[in-house]
Amino acid sequence: MVPIFEQTSAGLRDWFVQSGLAAYRAGQVRKWLFQKRAAGFDEMTDLPVRLRERLAAEFQVWTTQVINHRESADGSEKLLLELGDDQRIECVLLRDDKEHCTACISTQVGCAMGCAFCATGIDGFVRNLTTGEIIEQMLQLQRLLGTAGSERVSHVVVMGMGEPLLNLDSLLPALASAADRDGLGIGARRITISTVGLPEGIRRLARENCQYHLAVSLHAANDSLRNEIVPANRGFGIATILAAADDYFEQTGRRVTFEYVLISGVNDRPEHAGELVKLLRGRPALVNLIPYNPVPGLPYRTPSSSVTARFVETLTQGGLNVNIRHRKGDRIAAACGQLRRGSRG
């Protein structure tokens, strides 16, 4: 059977037409899957019984299975999903309130970027996810919100396992379904793609005039240190990343966020803050500071609150716009790759 989430909205309509069925039925099916949170075709009660039976014979709804579900006191929930080939990925639901529920999703099994502090890359890269597997993460997380409709996924951040810009062919159709009216109905400006900063991928997003928010995981303001923290940087360097980010802003009008994970004794000293000011001053950018979320087996630690405060002060005094992302889900292994690695027996 064909996984139904591999079908675009237009593709599903074509199937109905080619099958001699009314095209509007495709919209009904997508509404049930994306908005009414149906678990299967049998729940689609405004479709004729014979049509539901035919759909069930032609299409598979779920190719992923929840094998671990963890909840945190701060409202965060994390799922470990098993794919059809027995590989495993993670996705996280982050709650700010009932109006703001964010799905943090993955794009690859593993990761080839090798960032020194990240659990995902420890075991290397396995494969890209399909469009359907990316969509299913959003819907599996939305199912955690129940069926009453009082809560819904309002934002999507693509900053789970993997490097999103290496899987744009699968990711962009999935995000289109997230943004579509007959999909999740999430505006493009509420969707964030986080990348280590692959220039060619950034330029592709700019060429296609994507209105998604772009977040570049910088983590260092000079190539020497960044080469150690983010080995992929050796292939292009910070200057090339910034040029691509500037192009993205110029083409889309969307301000770029530069993420900076603060790691104790590695990139959190006053001179590092000063370098970051010199690098980004004058750019229409936001710096998103993230205190490191420790990973078992790795030597890195979270900086003290006083060190973090001093770093922020240097940036703000230097004229940068700064936001501190407070960590969520510490007790449910919410950092990328932790739950997947811990599930091995």
Structure tokens at 19: 């099958």
Kind of pairing, strands 155-158 and 125-128?
unpaired
Catalytic residue selected from 6, 77, 90, 163: 90
Q: In this structure, how many other beta carbons lie within 10 angstroms of the beta carbon of residue 217?
A: 22
Q: Rounded to an integer, what distance in angstroms lies between the CA atom of residue 216 and that of residue 288?
A: 10
Nearest to 232 by CA among 162, 128, 290, 292: 162
223 and 238 Cβ atoms separated by less than 8 Å: yes
Active site residue 210: no
For 138, 173, 255, 300, the CA distances from 143, given in Å and listed in that order, are: 9, 21, 32, 35
Please report where in the chains the tokens 């030597």 appear, as a residue.
299
Catalytic residue status for 336: yes
The DSSP code sequence of 191-226 is EEEEES--HHHHHHHHHTT--SEEEEE---SSHHHH
Q: In sequence order, what are the beta bridge partners of 323?
A: 288
Residue with tokens 């060619």: 200
In angstroms, the CA 275 to CA 190 distance is 30
**Count of helices and strands (H, E) across the chain:** 11, 14
Host H or E run for residue 83: none
15 burial type by CB count under 10 A (0-12 exposed, 13-18 middle, 19+ buried): buried
Cα torsion 127, 102, 290, 81: sign:
negative
Please give the radius of gyration of the chain, using alpha carbons only, rounded to the nearest integer.
21
Q: Which of 91, 118, 210, 336 is catalytic?
A: 336
Tokens of 284: 């229409």
Q: Which of 217, 187, 189, 190 has the alpha carbon at shortest distance from 202?
A: 217
Active-site residue set: 90, 336
